[in-house]
Amino acid sequence: MRTLLFLLTAMAVIGSGFWAYHENYATQAEQDRAQNLRNDIGAARERLAILRAEWAYLNRPDRLRDLAELNFDRLGLLPLRPDQFGRVDQVAFPMPEQIDISQPIDVTSAGADE
């Protein structure tokens, strides 16, 4: 009986050692994966910063004005003037829907249990 108990104890120790070994390598693999994701996110943020800087450079007002002048015959773009804008009281807002309240709705619970 004692031999069986020692054998079972030894198997439990070996099994828990194998489990700990497996979990250790699985944890290290997930940490490596997380680090790779952090590196990818950092690279994507750098690319995004570069794209934003390029967008700001390409949308400079003086550059856009020059492009509008170069392509005036094809596009017909003119600079904005203050008299091209309207006032808020000139905007035609849609009228709200008229709700018909001539037909009442029964909201009592008189017939709920039937």
Question: If residue 14 lies in a helix (H) or strand (E), which one and from where to where?
Answer: helix 2-58
pLDDT tens digits for 13-27?
A: 999 999 999 999 999
Q: pLDDT at position 20, please?
A: 95
Q: Could you give phi then psi for residue 87, rounded to 5 degrees?
A: -95, 160
Contact 45, 54 (CB under 8 A): no
Q: Where are the domains of the chain?
A: 2-79
CA 64 to CA 84: how far, in whole Å? Answer: 19
pLDDT tens digits for 71-101?
A: 888 888 777 788 888 888 888 888 888 877 7
CA 47 to CA 39: how far, in whole Å? Answer: 12
Q: Is 71 helix (H, G, I), strand (E, B) or coil?
A: coil
pLDDT tens digits for 41-64?
A: 999 999 999 999 999 999 999 998
Q: Is the pTM of this model over 0.85?
A: no
